[in-house]
């Protein structure tokens, strides 16, 4: 998810579990809950670094635990936590760091959760990258208690209870229920995709991905023997969808050049991260140019850049060059 949502989630967690925490402890918890997204800076190094760092080891349980330990130890050593003991701030920072992983795990993008023990990437695919509903819930849980506190102070009422604790707890609960509900809806979307045939072919692989506008709007990707399909799904009521009206992209025919490209190091690294890899083969002056893209990112023109693998071969399928490069959106 976006850093703002992660920051609000860590703030809500602190207010709900440790409402009298000092400012340094609160800042440390927010940092613990957002630091994993520093891997986005790898984009400035280049596409190869971005592919290696983004949502990989920084989004693992091992690094989350290490980060919580480092932040808690640093806070104690510099003496900024004052009356907040280490036995309190360490669990708080650990939960904030792990909450980041749990929220990102629910997204459409994958995370390398068990690095360095397992290279597999995991995703629940039930929440979009920027979900305004989640953002609004956290904002409400944060801002409404502050506004109510100002009102009660204005009319002279005083409360000894920590301000914002109930609102923060309710926001966390609401987000948890919301994500659980979206997970159920994702199962319904996958079931609808799996019951159809696609231009006479059965699905070999399929997935449903959350859209940000409404929990009942999803987009599906289906891979068959010959093609890849993008489909819009609306789960409200008994609305049907027509597989024949989907956006279809046919796979290239097998060839020595394509096989050689798939065996390169650039392709191997790309295929480890791509959810639905799609190859294109074109003739060039020197032989063939093969590009590998993730079909998941091709349906909509997006503002952010995506990574592709580009391999050049000669007419005899000998690899001349290979690289990971940025694939700029079509609509510039």
What are the pLDDT digits (tens) for 59-90? 999 999 999 999 999 888 887 666 778 888 99
The closest alpha carbon to 170, from 126, 147, 138, 143, belongs to: 138
Give the single-character DSSP code of 170: H
Question: For position 163, what pLDDT does the model report?
Answer: 67
pLDDT for the residue numbered 297: 84
Model confidence at 148: pLDDT above 80: no
pLDDT value at residue 238:
58
Contact 25, 75 (CB under 8 A): yes
What is the model's pLDDT at position 173?
Answer: 96
pLDDT at 107 over 90: yes
pLDDT higher than 90, residue 164: no
Q: What is the pLDDT of residue 151?
A: 45
Q: What is the average pLDDT score of the chain?
A: 89
Q: What integer pLDDT is reported at residue 147 of this predicted model? A: 60
Average pLDDT score over residue span 22-35: 93
What is residue 117's predicted lDDT score, i.e. its pLDDT? 94
Q: Under a CB-based contact definition with an 8 Å cutoff, are residues 5 and 138 in contact?
A: yes
Percent of the chain with pLDDT over 70: 89
Q: Give the pLDDT band of residue 160 (cuts 50, 70, 90).
A: low
Cβ neighbours of residue 253 under 8 Å, at least 6 residues apart? none
The 3-state DSSP class for residue 220 equals: strand
CA distance 298 to 219: 12
Q: What is the mean pLDDT of residues 193-217?
A: 92
**pLDDT number for residue 183:** 96
Q: Is the pLDDT of residue 153 over 90?
A: no
Q: What is the pLDDT of residue 112?
A: 96
Give the H or E element holding residue 92.
Answer: helix 86-105
Query: How far apart are the C-alpha atoms of 62 and 139, rounded to whole Å?
Result: 30
- H helix count then E strand count, the chain: 9, 8
Measure the N-to-C terminal CA separation of the chain; round to a whole number of Å.
25
Sheet bearing 319-327, strands edge to edge: 277-283, 288-294, 306-313, 319-327
Closest CA to 307 of 60, 54, 17: 54
pLDDT score, position 170: 93
pLDDT for residue 326 is more than 70 = yes
Q: What is the pLDDT of residue 155?
A: 53
pLDDT on residue 332: 38
Q: Which comes out higher in pLDDT, residue 161 or 25? A: 25
Closest CA to 41 of 32, 50, 31: 50
pLDDT value of position 301? 46
d(CA 183, CA 5) in angstroms, rounded, equals 19
Contact 225, 201 (CB under 8 A): yes
Residues 6+ apart with CB under 8 A from 304: none
Residue 149 has pLDDT above 60, yes or no: no
pLDDT per residue as tens digits for the range 272-312: 999 999 999 999 999 999 999 999 987 654 446 789 999 99
Which residues have CB under 8 Å from 127's CB, separation 6+? 1, 103, 106, 107, 108, 134, 179, 182, 210
């Amino acid at each position: 998810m976006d850093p703002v949502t992660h920051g609000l989630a860590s703030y809500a967690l602190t207010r709900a579990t440790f409402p009298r925490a000092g400012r340094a402890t609160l800042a440390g918890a927010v940092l613990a809950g957002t630091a994993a997204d520093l891997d986005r800076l790898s984009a400035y190094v280049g596409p190869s670094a971005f592919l290696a760092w983004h949502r990989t080891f920084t989004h693992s349980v091992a690094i989350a635990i290490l980060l919580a330990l480092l932040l808690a130890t640093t806070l104690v050593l510099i003496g900024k936590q004052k009356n907040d003991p280490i036995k309190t701030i360490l669990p708080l920072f650990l939960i904030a760091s792990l909450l980041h992983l749990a929220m990102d795990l629910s997204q459409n993008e994958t995370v390398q959760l068990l690095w360095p023990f397992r290279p597999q990437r995991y995703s629940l695919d039930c929440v979009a990258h920027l979900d305004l509903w989640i953002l609004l819930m956290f904002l409400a849980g944060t801002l409404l208690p502050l506004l109510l506190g100002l009102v009660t102070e204005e009319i002279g009422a005083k409360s000894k209870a920590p301000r914002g604790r109930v609102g923060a707890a309710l926001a966390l609960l609401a987000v948890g229920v919301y994500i659980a509900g979206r997970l159920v809806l994702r199962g319904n979307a996958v079931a609808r995709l799996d019951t159809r045939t696609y231009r006479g072919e059965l699905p070999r692989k399929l997935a449903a991905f959350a859209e940000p506008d409404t929990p009942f709007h999803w987009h599906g990707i289906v891979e068959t023997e010959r093609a890849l399909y993008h489909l819009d799904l609306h789960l409200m009521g008994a609305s049907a969808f027509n597989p024949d009206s989907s956006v279809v992209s046919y796979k290239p025919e097998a060839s020595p050049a394509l096989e050689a490209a798939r065996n390169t190091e650039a392709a191997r690294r790309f295929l480890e991260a791509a959810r639905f890899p799609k190859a294109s083969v074109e003739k060039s002056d020197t032989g063939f140019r093969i590009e590998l893209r993730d079909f998941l990112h091709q349906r909509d023109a997006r503002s952010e850049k995506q990574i592709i693998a580009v391999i050049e071969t000669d007419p005899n399928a000998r690899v001349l060059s290979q690289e990971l490069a940025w694939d700029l959106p079509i609509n510039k």
